[in-house]
A and B are shown apart, each in its own frame.
Chain A
Amino acid sequence: MIELLREPFMQRALLAALVTGLAAPVIGTYLVQRRLALLGDGLGHVAVTGVALGLWTGFAPTWTAVAVAVLGAVAIEAIRDRGHTSGDLALALLFYGGLAGGVMITGLAEQGAVTLQRYLFGSITSISISDIWFTLGLALVIVVLGLGLLPQLFTVAQDQDFAKVAGLNVRGYNLLVAVLAAVTVTVAMRTVGLLLVSALMIVPVAASQQLARSFRATIGGAVAVGAGAGVGGLLVAAYLSEEHDLTVAPGPAIVLLALACFVATWPVGVLLRRRQRRRRPFPALPTDEHLVIDAHDHVHGPDCGHPAIPHGDHVDYVHDGHRHAPHGEHYDEH
């Protein structure tokens, strides 16, 4: 295993997994904020056509994939902007057109399924030096723009009308996010494959937002989960392949590790949210009437075990469907 880590191809793979894991969730967070979690998937399918075009024409498939995915992103943004088709339907059209086009053109190129499969499911261990520079460069662009323009991109995704009246170029920023998503797809293509690209953008965000209370914490946590899953998944795959003679592809291992992070954080998030909901103060409405409870042998207090929920200028103790507020010697039903 240690020897494997000394191999140049493994070091290149680790670097690619790390930067992909860092960059993909940055754009993924904006997609989740816009409720466009599946956009990455749509662009991934479009990029299949791009890869096939590269195989057919003899250009580098990575560059043709970038070009076609960016065109797809611009097209879907234009459709969304005009509002003629729902984003949902536009995505579906993209899915099918991209995949069908890709498979057909690959057939024309007589490259067969094997070459295409490298791009569909990733082939991180066969990354060349030039691929590494390509990955590093684009990942840097994604992270610098995605984090540097965070206030603007956040505001546009949060509330388009407000952003427009604030003087922001809403159409421009929307297009930027779509184009960055397309670039992310092609960067992650070699790592996890086009069919799992979106997972690396979205799943870390889903894991992170279980515990986060702010946008910045979500994006930070997602980047940490993405980078950790990228490197961790690759190491797990390498370990299982090397020591136990199993055939484990790195791409799926990376995605499954990210999903495991979500499975681990989700119950904690559910608990946190439930607790928050139960501790929310009752609204203080002016009322004239209240019911006095006569017999009550239990004494409510800070340590009585019943949740004490703020209600105006006092607290209500919650038990068995009652809200009991101490009032002199007795309790009032609120």
Chain B
Amino acid sequence: MSSSPSDPSVPDSPVIDLRDGAVVIAGRPVLRRVDLTVRSGEFVTLLGPNGSGKSTLVRALTGLRPLARGTLTLFGTPLESFRDWHRLGFVPQRAGAASGVPTSVREVVASGRLTRRRGLRPASRADRAAVESALELVGLADRAKDSVATLSGGQQQRVLIARALAGGPDLFFLDEPTAGVDLPNQQALAGALHALSEAGSTIVLVTHELGPLAPLVDRTVVLRDGCKVYDGPPLAVDDAHGHHHPEAGRHDHHPGVIAPMDRRDEEVTW
């Protein structure tokens, strides 16, 4: 596991630097005027109601969504010429880790090693060691040979985190890793993230509910309707989601689709 900050000589050098970022999806501006600077070793959470652009922001920061305007540099390199993908660990928002074919836990985690492996070369001893230690860190070493489909949702989320860990990155993006995860698994997850943070990794976490992760957070960024509305010390999640949108109804980008769980008549607790 690599744990060195982005540049040891400058401990506070910006790892992510987004200026005037905007993302347009299908002709509709989704993110506007977003400035975000994350320094090495910071633990930042992105909060905001559904459709506020949290996931879109993370997708823009990882290069999955092109910026319609603005500039983004990662580790001091403009995104267009950024090639050090092994420094990024990405945990996408997913229902699970399973696919159409049985897949063992170790195979999923080993695929995270591809940020460092190239071409037809077989896995080296270092590759295997990194996979084992990633499994240890999320507490699933004893399940390595099992099919991921037999794991619970929370355990599958931990597999995806181990996959991101396996490449030994120093910047992590996690998109809703605790959604639908039971408390013991959330605690296991918090333990793994704490260890990473302690080791100097930079962490950007999108979440609805912090739960056991709350004590780890250095800084909170709140998005609303595609704009940054708060950037500072951690807030209670209720502040982030409650006070900023007192109007009734939703103002997000989901066109009129209301989930059966959503109530219009009371404040939604995320």
Which residues of A does B touch, CB under 8 Å? 29, 32-35, 37, 148-149, 151-152, 154-155, 157-159, 161-168, 205, 209, 212-218, 276-277, 280, 283-286
In the assembled complex, the Cα of A299 lies from the Cα of B203 at a distance in Å of 52
Which one, B104, B146, B164, contacts A215 given CB within 8 A?
B104
Q: List 24 A-B contacts (CB under 8 A).
A: A34-B100, A151-B110, A151-B113, A151-B117, A151-B123, A154-B111, A155-B111, A155-B114, A161-B90, A162-B92, A162-B111, A162-B163, A162-B164, A165-B63, A166-B112, A166-B114, A213-B145, A213-B146, A214-B106, A214-B145, A214-B147, A215-B102, A218-B101, A283-B182
> Cβ of B90 and Cβ of A162 under 8 Å apart?
yes
> Cβ of B107 and Cβ of A161 under 8 Å apart?
no
In the A-B complex, the 10 residue pairs with the smallest Cβ-Cβ separation, listed nearest first, are: A167-B85, A214-B104, A165-B90, A155-B111, A33-B101, A213-B147, A161-B92, A166-B115, A165-B62, A35-B100
> Cβ of B184 and Cβ of A166 under 8 Å apart?
no
**Which has the most chain B C-beta neighbours within 10 Å: A33, A214, A283?**
A214
B89, closest chain A residue (CB): A165
Task: Let me know if B150 is at the binding interface, CB within 8 A.
Answer: yes
Residues of B within 8 A of A37 (CB): 100
A29, closest chain B residue (CB): B101
In the assembled complex, the Cα of A216 lies from the Cα of B108 at a distance in Å of 12
> Cβ of B184 and Cβ of A161 under 8 Å apart?
no
A149 to chain B, nearest CB (A): 7
In the assembled complex, the Cα of A214 lies from the Cα of B112 at a distance in Å of 16
In the assembled complex, the Cα of A165 lies from the Cα of B152 at a distance in Å of 25
> Cβ of A151 and Cβ of B114 under 8 Å apart?
yes
> Cβ of A280 and Cβ of B150 under 8 Å apart?
yes
Task: Let me know if B94 is at the binding interface, CB within 8 A.
Answer: yes
In the assembled complex, the Cα of A214 lies from the Cα of B109 at a distance in Å of 12
Task: Let me know if B50 is at the binding interface, CB within 8 A.
Answer: no
A206 to chain B, nearest CB (A): 10
Chain B 185-218: CB-based contact to A (< 8 A → 1; otherwise 0): 0000000000000000000000000000000000
For window 142-195 of B, CB contacts with A under 8 Å fall at 145-147, 150, 152, 163-164, 167, 173, 182-184
| Beyond A216-B107, A280-B152, 6 additional pairs, beta carbon < 8 A | A29-B101, A157-B99, A161-B59, A165-B85, A167-B115, A285-B182
Which one, A35, A157, A216, A285, contacts B184 given CB within 8 A?
A285
Which one, A149, A161, A168, A215, contacts B103 given CB within 8 A?
A215
Residues of A within 8 A of B104 (CB): 213-215
Which one, A159, A161, A283, A285, contacts B152 given CB within 8 A?
A283
Chain B 76-107: CB-based contact to A (< 8 A → 1; otherwise 0): 00000001011010101010000111111011
In the assembled complex, the Cα of A267 lies from the Cα of B86 at a distance in Å of 43
Residues of B within 8 A of A212 (CB): 102
Determine chain A's interface SS by DSSP, over half rule: helix
Size of chain B's interface in residues, with CB distance under 8 A? 41
In the assembled complex, the Cα of A284 lies from the Cα of B139 at a distance in Å of 15
> Cβ of B103 and Cβ of A158 under 8 Å apart?
yes
B146, closest chain A residue (CB): A213
In the assembled complex, the Cα of A155 lies from the Cα of B94 at a distance in Å of 15
Task: Let me know if B258 is at the binding interface, CB within 8 A.
Answer: no
> Cβ of A159 and Cβ of B94 under 8 Å apart?
yes
In the assembled complex, the Cα of A50 lies from the Cα of B94 at a distance in Å of 40
Residues of B within 8 A of A214 (CB): 102-104, 106-107, 145, 147
The answer to whether A276 and B120 touch (CB under 8 A), given A162-B163, A165-B90, A167-B85, is no
In the assembled complex, the Cα of A151 lies from the Cα of B101 at a distance in Å of 14
> Cβ of A158 and Cβ of B184 under 8 Å apart?
no
Residues of B within 8 A of A205 (CB): 101
B122 to chain A, nearest CB (A): 9
The answer to whether A161 and B100 touch (CB under 8 A), given A283-B182, A285-B184, is no
Which one, B100, B106, B115, B152, contacts A33 given CB within 8 A?
B100
Residues of B within 8 A of A154 (CB): 107, 111
Residues of B within 8 A of A152 (CB): 114
Residues of B within 8 A of A217 (CB): 102
Task: Let me know if B64 is at the binding interface, CB within 8 A.
Answer: yes
Residues of A within 8 A of B99 (CB): 33-35, 157-158
Residues of B within 8 A of A35 (CB): 99-100
In the assembled complex, the Cα of A209 lies from the Cα of B83 at a distance in Å of 37
**Which has the most chain B C-beta neighbours within 10 Å: A33, A154, A168, A213?**
A213
**Which has the most chain B C-beta neighbours within 10 Å: A149, A215, A217, A280?**
A215
> Cβ of A161 and Cβ of B102 under 8 Å apart?
no
B93, closest chain A residue (CB): A161
> Cβ of B114 and Cβ of A168 under 8 Å apart?
yes
A158, closest chain B residue (CB): B99
The answer to whether A218 and B107 touch (CB under 8 A), given A165-B62, A166-B112, A166-B114, is no
> Cβ of B63 and Cβ of A209 under 8 Å apart?
no
B144, closest chain A residue (CB): A214
For window 223-247 of B, CB contacts with A under 8 Å fall at none
